[in-house]
């Protein structure tokens, strides 16, 4: 049994990551890893019609040429390792319905990076899963107690911690030992960074941030594989990552290694029933429930709505935006816009978030306001809706994020839902589900890539 707390924190994480094997993980952890893989790929390949994806692929091919290393899921073309990782990360994030954790949306970075590295290395399906588990655990442990402070400084958590996860996953697939994996993680500290200003401006840079993270994490692993050394204290030193991106007087490493190898932070990862932020889930669900309650009797015209949220959420960039709307980023970040869709249609979809001129939606949105309330817990908003007919509806979301835990069954259900929404034939959905379910028995990941690219092609043919 490895005693991780006798090592420097970065080396301890690297030792865990480099030695992780599927046969030493519990069935619960393996099932969670499969759910994460299935969900990340499904949400990406069913979003392949997003126009920006063609531009991204074209830019990567101009930068890298036509090297034949790994598959771009968008169109099945082959590209260099970094280009494929970049393109597939953007694909998985463009819809912004990826998995969720307080430290960010790791699947949209780690899964694409691991897929590209696994193809290049001709890795087994079991090695792919091991790399993804190690990537998630490294990224989430680095971020779980640091994310809030990093975010308050204007940085975006997903691409920053995701780059560490991509480096760990890449190092595992490149068969690096603990020392070299530590060098990969240390080198990754020089390639992390992304700002949240786009959320305030309403521009659409968000998917490119994860592309950089996936590519840069793999670059760090490749450098380490060639003997490049990094700083052992790059995470916790006086000028290390934690202090540079957080508060200088706070010890973020206190829980970093707690239960490492026995307790998995990745088991806390949740999903999104709808496109948008992870704080939007309970708001949307509340508006849908109140809509159903209102329609049980005659008269259900919304006069005004108030969404009371924890101050950290209510003041998050973009959440209280009331228009005008010109970009997808403005729409999916806006609590009023998402609430209006939920009230009028009983759901929120990718297509609806791309329609910015529906008068009914804009009217309800203008009547909906976000209020910062210190009495509200995080992930537990309180919704007040006043109807023109004189009634007032109130709903307090008390379950929090736990009800959105991403399980294998949920990943299967969401995969089928994504395919239905994208008009993809269900047999293709079942093929992807089957390939992920049995990935740990496969000598390579070719069946998984084939199933994923088939869905991407079908989603673009409508």
Strand 302-309 with 78-79, pairing: unpaired
Looking only at the bridges linking them, the beta strands covering 382-387 and 368-372 are unpaired
* Residue 453 pLDDT > 60: yes
List all residues 6 or more positions away from 250 whose beta carbon is below 8 Å from its beta carbon. 149, 242
Q: Which residues have a Cβ under 8 Å from the Cβ of 278 and sit 6 or more positions away? A: 100, 270, 272, 379, 401, 404
What is the structure's pLDDT at 296? 82
Please tell me the predicted confidence (pLDDT) of residue 363.
Answer: 96
Q: Rounded to 5 degrees, what are φ and ψ at 372?
A: -80, 125
pLDDT at 435 over 90: yes
Q: What is the pLDDT of residues 281-325, one digit of tens each?
A: 999 999 999 999 998 876 778 999 999 999 999 988 889 999 899
Provide mean pLDDT across the span 146-170: 96
Asked if 332 and 96 touch (Cβ cutoff 8 Å), the reply is yes
The model's pLDDT over 12-28, given as tens digits with 9 standing for 90+, comes to: 999 999 999 999 999 99
**What share of the chain in percent tops pLDDT 70?**
98
* Residue 462 pLDDT greater than 90, yes or no: no
Contact (Cβ atoms closer than 8 angstroms) between residue 128 and residue 439: yes
Give the span between the Cα atoms of 214 and 323, in whole angstroms.
Answer: 32
**Is 6 a residue whose pLDDT tops 70?**
no
Reply yes or no: is the peptide bond before residue 324 cis, omega within 30 of 0.
Answer: yes
At residue 292, the pLDDT reads 92
* Among the listed residues 415, 419, 418, 405, the one whose alpha carbon sits nearest the alpha carbon of residue 436: 415
Confidence band of 399 (pLDDT split at 50, 70, 90) = confident
pLDDT at 4: 65
CB atoms < 10 A from the CB of 23, how many?
Answer: 8
> What is the pTM assigned to this prediction?
0.94
Q: Residue 424 contacts by C-beta under 8 Å, 6 or more apart in sequence?
A: 46, 418, 455, 458, 459
Mean pLDDT of the chain: 94
Task: Compute the distance between CA of residue 194 and CA of residue 385 in angstroms, rounded to an integer.
Answer: 37
- What domains are defined for the chain? 4-271+405-460 (1.10.4100.10), 280-401 (3.30.1330.120)
Residue 199 predicted with pLDDT over 90: no
Given a contact cutoff of 8 angstroms between Cβ atoms, the answer to whether 419 and 428 are in contact is yes
CB 225 within 8 A of CB 180: yes
């Amino acid at each position: 049994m490895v005693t991780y707390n006798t090592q420097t924190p970065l080396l301890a994480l690297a030792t865990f990551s480099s030695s992780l094997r599927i046969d030493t993980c519990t069935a619960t952890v393996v099932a969670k890893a499969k759910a994460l893989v299935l969900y990340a790929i499904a949400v990406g390949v069913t979003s392949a019609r997003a126009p920006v994806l063609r531009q991204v692929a074209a830019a990567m091919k101009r930068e890298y040429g036509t090297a034949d290393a790994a598959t771009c899921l968008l169109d099945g073309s082959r590209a260099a390792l970094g280009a494929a990782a970049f393109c597939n990360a953007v694909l998985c994030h463009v819809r912004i319905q990826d998995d969720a954790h307080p430290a960010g949306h790791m699947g949209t970075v780690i899964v694409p990076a691991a897929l590209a590295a696994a193809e290049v290395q001709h890795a087994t399906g079991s090695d792919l899963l091991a790399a993804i588990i190690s990537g998630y655990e490294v990224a989430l442990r680095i971020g779980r107690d640091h994310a809030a402070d990093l975010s308050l400084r204007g940085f975006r958590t997903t691409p920053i911690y995701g780059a560490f996860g991509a480096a760990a996953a890449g190092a595992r697939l490149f068969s690096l030992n603990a020392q070299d994996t530590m060098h990969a993680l240390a080198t990754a500290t020089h390639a992390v960074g992304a700002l949240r200003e786009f959320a305030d401006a309403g521009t659409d840079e968000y998917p490119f941030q994860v592309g950089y993270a996936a590519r840069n994490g793999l670059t760090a692993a490749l450098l380490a594989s060639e003997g490049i050394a990094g700083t052992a204290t790059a995470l916790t030193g006086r000028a290390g990552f934690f202090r540079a991106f957080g508060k200088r007087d706070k010890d973020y490493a206190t829980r970093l290694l707690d239960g490492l190898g026995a307790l998995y932070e990745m088991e806390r990862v949740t999903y999104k029933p709808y496109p948008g932020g992870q704080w939007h889930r309970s708001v949307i669900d509340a508006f849908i429930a109140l809509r159903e309650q209102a329609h049980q009797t005659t008269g259900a015209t919304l006069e005004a709505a108030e969404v009371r949220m924890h101050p950290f959420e209510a003041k998050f960039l973009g959440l209280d935006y009331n228009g005008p709307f010109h970009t997808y980023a403005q729409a999916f970040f806006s609590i009023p816009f998402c609430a209006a869709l939920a009230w009028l249609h009983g759901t929120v979809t990718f297509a609806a978030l791309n329609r910015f001129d529906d008068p009914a939606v804009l009217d309800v949105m203008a009547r909906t306001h976000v209020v910062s309330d210190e009495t509200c817990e995080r992930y537990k908003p309180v919704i007040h809706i006043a109807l023109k007919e004189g009634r007032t509806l109130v709903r307090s979301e008390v379950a929090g994020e736990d009800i959105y835990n991403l399980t294998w069954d949920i990943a299967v259900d969401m995969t089928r839902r994504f395919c239905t929404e994208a008009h993809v034939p269900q047999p293709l959905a079942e093929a992807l589900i089957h390939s992920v379910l049995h990935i740990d028995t496969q000598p390579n990941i070719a069946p998984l890539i084939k199933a994923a690219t088939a869905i991407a092609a079908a989603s673009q043919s409508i």
